[in-house]
Amino acid sequence: MNYFSTNFTLGILGGGQLGKMMLYETRKWDIKTHVLDPSIEAPCRIAADVFEQGDLMDFETVYNFGKKVDVLTFEIEGVNIEALEKLENEGVKVFPSAGTLRNIQDKGVQKQFYKEHQIPTSPFKVYKDKNDLNEAIVRKELHFPFVWKSCTGGYDGKGVSIVREAEDVIPLAESACIAEKLIPFKNELAVIVARNSSGEVKTYPVVEMEFHPEANQVEYVICPARIDEAVANKARAIAKKVSEAFKHVGLLAVEMFQTEDDEILVNEVAPRPHNSGHYSIEASYTNQFEQQIRAILDLPLGNTDSKVGGIMVNLVGAEDHTGPVVYKNIENILAMEGVTPHIYGKKETRPFRKMGHVTIVNKDLNKARKIAEEVKKTIEVISK
């Protein structure tokens, strides 16, 4: 099929920063795009050929949108799966498929899926609501500390809490949840797997994630991860196994823990481009967004190797700032070696909101890490 400079149309559900960065690639290849997002201010609105405002969880909205495109993908998991299933039945290509998304969208279902497919993950139990969870604590079936996760709707540190005592349960959401054993680990790692519908599969190098202690958000993503080669090979092999189990087409970001004794446990997955792959825009031969397009259009997959060491720093809203955004000292970081900022186009900042990211590339990863710290200290995302 001829995708380039024709009427072939790629539809994207979700118009946030991931969609915007995917649109860099569709612009590069002159692929026509339609984007649907609930916000009229969505970052994608200026780069898509057609932008529509609408509710991603509404059946009719998603179904009617999908009927206008040839291939449909998404950049956020919170979309109406029933609409995707109906579109698939009517011949619209949806990648990753509705079936893949159904196994991932609910974290309880996702964890159960790992268990059924002998994929290593931390011990867990699913609870239908907070009341059910409290009863398990009273019956002493559940012991402190544990990790609480909302089954749906959690992202960027939301919907995840460490519960150390009974009082910590009070502020938690009433929804269905999972309680996971708190595993002591050395590192949080991630591997992005690309797969096209012809069955070609490639993994990106293992990245290491350093987290912000309060916000539970990634502060630095480091590629390659500073781990033994044997551990890296094991992580890539497990990521490939996860990919095979989900039978996804597109990208699958597999987040993992490296335990104290170098076991690899799968934490969770995202069936789309991911924060842990942003470094690839500057540091890889084929960035994750181009790879997503290649995979869902069943084109040959690109080289996943890195050209150079890369570190990504998330730009999030400063704690006490809400309102029209100002990127304070951005010109100072632009003067630093190997530094590229990406601004997502969100006009309003609020505490810990993801507003952009900065990539630092350097042949010497230690030097890149020092510059990343300098970037972090210098730029501030504040309000007017």
> Binding site residues, as ranges?
107, 149, 180-183, 188, 267-268
The CA angle 322-327-332, to the nearest 5 degrees, is 150
Burial of 183 (0-12, 13-18, 19+ CB in 10 A): middle
Q: How far is CA 116 from the centre of its chain?
A: 24
Number of alpha helices (DSSP H) and beta strands (DSSP E) in the chain: 11, 21
365 contact partners, CB below 8 Å, separation of at least 6: 222, 224, 226, 309, 311
Q: From 7, 57, 15, select the one nearest 32 (Cα to Cα).
A: 7
Residue ranges of the annotated binding site for ATP are 107, 149, 180-183, 188, 267-268
d(C-alpha 86, C-alpha 88), whole Å: 5
Q: Which two tokens stand for residue 111?
A: 């964890």
d(C-alpha 290, C-alpha 41), whole Å: 24
Distances (CA, A) of 363 to 205, 221, 281, 368: 16, 16, 16, 8
d(C-alpha 62, C-alpha 81), whole Å: 9
